[in-house]
A and B are shown apart, each in its own frame.
Chain A
Amino acid sequence: QKEVEQNSGPLSVPEGAIASLNCTYSDRGSQSFFWYRQYSGKSPELIMFIYSNGDKEDGRFTAQLNKASQYVSLLIRDSQPSDSATYLCAVKLMGGTSYGKLTFGQGTILTVHP
């Protein structure tokens, strides 16, 4: 089992819809969770991070964390064509021999069509 898994997509949604991106992780020691957006050929840029169970909202983005079920999701409301990118889920371990290590999922390709 991969440490961090995402559905690679592509996920296609119409403009104005809600895009839902999901990520599961295997290590229960994971403590910090991140969502990055990456445009083709560019470096990842941080969208949100979350530590605690529940929802965290920032503008059109909402991150949801459920540690018991070991999943984290990202909702994008009112999706825009400019949101079309690859979304990377990343998990940070803060214990043991992997202290501070950031592990990425393979990314989900999102396409928002007009």
Chain B
Amino acid sequence: EAQVTQNPRYLITVTGKKLTVTCSQNMNHEYMSWYRQDPGLGLRQIYYSMNVEVTDKGDVPEGYKVSRKEKRNFPLILESPSPNQTSLYFCASSLRASSGNTIYFGEGSWLTVV
């Protein structure tokens, strides 16, 4: 089954404690991205990756890091989480950046930073 898998799905953490949200896809997609969703703001892109070892900033990259060492994985790293990073996070992938149609989303990761 084609899917994008995120972990953890739910996490409460404390300010400053480094955490990683993993994302893995099994569709051999080149393009992967991370979004955060906050009430009234829709989905905002954090980082995206066109292919292995190619990453770039989205609209709200501050406080986040990513890496793309393998095609299937695109982890989101919060080096020193702060309460304003409390949000719902989605990982997404598509075959290529130019793909016009199907973008697969993970189920989301609820992150609370206290």
A interface residue numbers (CB < 8 A to B): 4, 6, 8, 32, 34, 41-46, 49, 51, 88, 90, 92, 94, 99-107
16 contacts between A and B (CB under 8 A): A6-B42, A8-B40, A42-B108, A43-B107, A46-B101, A49-B101, A51-B100, A88-B43, A90-B43, A99-B50, A100-B31, A100-B50, A101-B58, A102-B33, A102-B103, A106-B40
- Chain B, interface residues (CB within 8 Å), range: 20 to 34
Residues of B close to A46: CB separation below 8 A: 101-103
B interface residue numbers (CB < 8 A to A): 31, 33, 35, 40-45, 48, 50, 58-59, 90, 92, 96-98, 100-103, 105-108
Residues of B close to A49: CB separation below 8 A: 100-101
Docked-complex contact B105 and A101, CB < 8 angstroms: no
Tell me the complex Cα distance, A1–B40, Å.
15
Given A102-B45, A104-B43: A43 and B102 within 8 A (CB)?
no
Question: Closest A-chain residue to B102, C-beta based?
Answer: A46
Given A49-B100, A92-B100: A43 and B105 within 8 A (CB)?
yes
Question: Closest B-chain residue to A2, C-beta based?
Answer: B42
**How many residue-residue contacts, CB under 8 A, span A and B?**
54
Question: Closest B-chain residue to A105, C-beta based?
Answer: B42
Docked-complex contact B43 and A44, CB < 8 angstroms: yes
Residues of B close to A32: CB separation below 8 A: 100
Residues of B close to A42: CB separation below 8 A: 107-108
Question: Closest A-chain residue to B100, C-beta based?
Answer: A32
Residues of B close to A107: CB separation below 8 A: 42
Given A42-B108, A99-B97: A104 and B44 within 8 A (CB)?
yes
Tell me the complex Cα distance, A46–B100, Å.
12
